[in-house]
Every structure is written in C-alpha cells, then in structure tokens.
Structure 1
C-alpha cells in the first residue's frame, strides 16, 4: 500500500472558533467536500456529523469520490471528564471508526484554559498533573486498542501535552505497544521543536501525520513574553501557512518518515494565510503532489 494525500477541511467549519462543537455539520462540510473533490483529493479526515449515521456519511463521501481518512479522538485527560466516561466515549468513537473502515486514530490531549491563554510555552506546568495525564491517556489508549483501533499520540498546542519534554515523557513512559505517534509538524514547530528530529526519533511508531507549515512570527515566545491567546494568534493569519510558505522543513520531515510508511499525509491549514479556503487547499494539494514520495494520487 502507498501513503495517501488527505485533507482536513477545518477552514470550512472553524471560522474563528476554537472548539469544533456543533460546527462539523452538513452545511459546513458539503461545500468542503465539493471543493476537495474538484481539487483532486481522494481522502478526507473522518468526522461524522452529529445525528448522521455512519452509512449515510460514507454514502455522502462516496458521492464526491472521497473516502474517510484517519480521525482524531480528543480529551483534556486531566479528569475534568471522569475517566470512566472518557473510556465509554472512546469505545463509541472506536466502534464508529471501525464502521468507517479505519484501524487507527490520533489521540489528542486538547484545549485547557490555562494553555489556550498562553499557547506553546508549557504554561502552568505541573509534574504531578503530567503523571495523571499519562495515566489517563494510557487508560483510554488501552480501551481503543481493545476495540481494534491503534491510538497515535498527537501533541497539540493548548493541551497538557504541548512541549517537547511533555511529548517525549508520554511516549517514553507508554511504550510502542500501547501508543503510537501521530505528529503535527505545525504544532511541534510552534512549540520550538524540530519535527524532523522528533519524527526520526520515534519513526517506528508513526502511524499518521498532519502536515502543517508555520510562519516564524509567533515562534520562540516564553511564558513571560507570549501576548496573544491561541485563538488570537491564529486569527492574525501569520501562524499557519500553506506547505512551503513557512519555516517548517517539510522535506526533512518527509525524509525522516519511515521508508515503508503507508498511512495518511493529512494536509491541515487551520486558518489559511490567504482569504480563500479553496485556494489554500489547492496550493497545499499541488505542493503535496510535487513533494511527497510514493503517494497515491
């Protein structure tokens, strides 16, 4: 099998939000699917709108010649949601992923107020909390594995697994049999990491990847110097960049990927640097076709 070019149509529903709650609707996603198909994409991040059956979702994608690509399970993993409830939610999610024909998912510790306010600097770090986060990630990961879905750690700005220390601690504490790796080149870079180095170090665990480029404007801040919140930073349109426009060594990232990698290269530009979401996706697709090795077109 060859790796695929996939897309996350996030600009079509994000629209200044931070949370996806209530935003991934037919009305928001249908124009995205039409545009993706016209551009040439064949795979799209799997997000079944609330109230829609899995069968109806698959038929909808098929009407545009699209198939579902690796999705993302997120939680704060800080016991805001009781772990028993998190596990049950993860089981329901896993069942849906199997119905979609998928066997892996990103596992993402996502947005908490303390880090959304001061993004990408490891704000309010607490070693004891990190151990609790790791324990809850492990519990949810085990639940996903038991349901036939491989979990891939997806470090994310704004969550409790944000910095290089936190990311490596989680991966090193939970071995490859419990937790794979699903890196996001943009989030790693915003937090000051070299994604090619991180990916090379954990190459045997990479099961999917989000390809994002980043402008340099907001990199290198500290807890004392960061001024904008996560949402405010994104809305400057000087954070996320279409591939090749920013400072991420994406060719180095591709070189660091496993030689036998057969997963998704998920193109993701949360807030495009240009006004047109269509043009952003088109530029991203053209870059991917030219620069990703051995991909399925």
Structure 2
C-alpha cells in the first residue's frame, strides 16, 4: 500500500473564535469565569471547535485545557502583546514571555501571534502612524527581536500580528519590522481588519510574506471610518466601539475572497474569526453569522 501524500496527511486548518467581544466592553476588560463561560457555551452551540488560548491569571494551562474541553473546544493560536517601546523593562518582558510560552506549549501549541498595542498618541489618532519616531521604531524592533528569540527558545514560532494603535501600525513600519528581523526569527500572522484600517491591502501583504504566514485573524470592516477624514477627533476606542468599523465577515468591504486565495497552499494554521465589536446587538448572533460565512467561504481550506 502506498504511503499517504503529505497533502492528505496534513491536518486541515480549523475555524476558531476569539471571545474578545465578550470580555472587552466599552474599553473595559472583564475576564471573569462567568464571561468566558457564556462565550464558550455560545461557541460550542454555534459549531466552533477551537478558541483562542487565553489562560486566565492564576489558572494552570492544564486546568484551562480541561475547562474549555468541557465545552468541546480546543486551544487555538494565542497572542503575546507588548508596547515594545521605551515604556517597558525588557528583562521583565522576557520573563513574561517565558511564562506565556510555557503555558502555550503545555497546551500543545507551536506558534503565537506577537503584537504591539497602545501607543498613547496612536490610540488618540488611530490608523495613521501618529507621532512617528524613528528611534522608537528601531528600539521596538530590537525589543521585539529579543522577545521572539525567547519565544522560539521555548518552542513557539512567533508571528507578527498587525494592530492599529501600536508601534508597528503602518505598512512601512510593519515591513521594516519583518524585513529587519527576517524569516528565521519572525513569521507573519496578519489581521485583515487592522491592516485595512491602516490603509493596507491585506491580500497584497499576505502575498508579499506568503512564505512566513503561520496564522491569521479574519476580520471585516465597514467603510464608514476607514478614511482618516471620516474619523477626525475620534479615538481608537470610539471608532472601534461605534459598531460601524468592525463587520462580521462578508458584510464589510475587505476582500476576504482575495485574502483566502492569497494564503499559501501549504498553510497549516487556523482561520480565527474575530469581530472586536459586533455590529449586531447580540454577540451570539454575530458569531453565528461569522461561522455561517466561514462554512461557505472556507469550505475548501478549513474545517
């Protein structure tokens, strides 16, 4: 009997969910067990089988795996976030990265998103590279490289995850990070919505770094606030919370068909659905819409 081909033996990517709209509300964070319980119940009922691995403070990775397993969910690609700029102590960040990596590896994961968020000037004026500082960018790239080395040494492949509001916000900043650190140190984990908000075509960026793509967040955008002039005077949280920025996949203007087509043929990561602020009044309904879209749009590439 012939051996199965690598194409047949390679696991199909899963459709995963990120519970961010459950625990992030009006700029506040509530990661209580009750909040996650509702999210996990909803995801399981809708049909999701994987959820972003977000181990609560004080809980072991093993206990977390048992917890989500009780809902029929498995851990999916998580995210390590840091400002990476002059506000951090890199030694402390390295230790935090080691602890994070230990949990992720214990959960059976082999990669993680790495993202920068919350530069004050960019939270006040999002998506346009406000208060650019070449020295800050150089320091952030250096610090990100150090963290990537720590994560890799613990068995996690780091993937840069674009995010409006951080030090790697614009196309030139993202490409400088990726090109400076190189493919051996950092991969690419695009967020289609954050790229589009920053004026970047997601499919083009994915094609540019196709050999480094190891994860993806599928997020759609309404057109209302994509032009900087339309959001003058609005902060990150005001735009994001407007219910006229983030759209359930297929309901906005991001060309997600082009995104899926641009993904490498040998992609072995998950497709994570993410709607930071649902456009509907119901979080359940938002995720049900997203899952139904994924069942059709990703039917040939994911399960």
- TM-score w.r.t. the length of structure 1 is 0.96
Alignment correspondent of 2:38: 31
- Structure 2: gaps spanning 5 or more residues: 1-10
Decide which of 266, 270, 295 is 1:264's aligned counterpart: 270
Is 1:150 matched up with 2:157? yes
Secondary structure of the structure 2 residue equivalent to 1:92: helix
Deviations 1:245-269 (Å, cap 9, x if unpaired)?
Answer: 1000000000000011121100000
Cα distance, 1:49 vs. partner? 1.2
Deviations 1:26-53 (A, max 9, x none): 1110000000000000000000111222
CA distance in 2, matches of 1:2, 1:79: 41
- Matched with 2:261 is 255
Q: Distance in 2 between matches of 1:126 and 1:178?
A: 24
Alpha-carbon shift at residue 296 of structure 1 (Å) = 4.3
Distance 2:161 2:116 in 1: 7
2:21 corresponds to 1:11? yes
Alignment correspondent of 2:116:
109
Distance 1:284 1:111 in 2: 27
Match among 275, 280, 292 for residue 281 of structure 2? 275
Partner Cα separation in structure 2 for residue 50 and residue 82 of structure 1:
21
Q: Following superposition of structure 1 onto structure 2, how do residues 62-211 of structure 1 map, counting pairs within 5 Å?
A: 62-211=69-218
**CA contact under 8 A between 1:234 and 1:271: conserved in structure 2?**
yes
| TM-score, L = length of structure 2 | 0.94
Please report how far the alpha carbon of residue 238 of structure 1 lies from its aligned counterpart in structure 2 after TM superposition.
0.3
**Maintained 8 Å contact 2:60/2:103:** no
Tell me the distance in 1 between the aligned counterparts of 2:227 and 2:192. Answer: 16
Distance 1:225 1:250, change over 3 A: closer
SS in 1 for 2:173: helix
Shift of 1:225: 6.7
The whole-number CA distance in structure 1 between the counterparts of 2:246 and 2:36 is: 21
Q: How many residues in Structure 1 have an aligned counterpart in Structure 2? A: 293
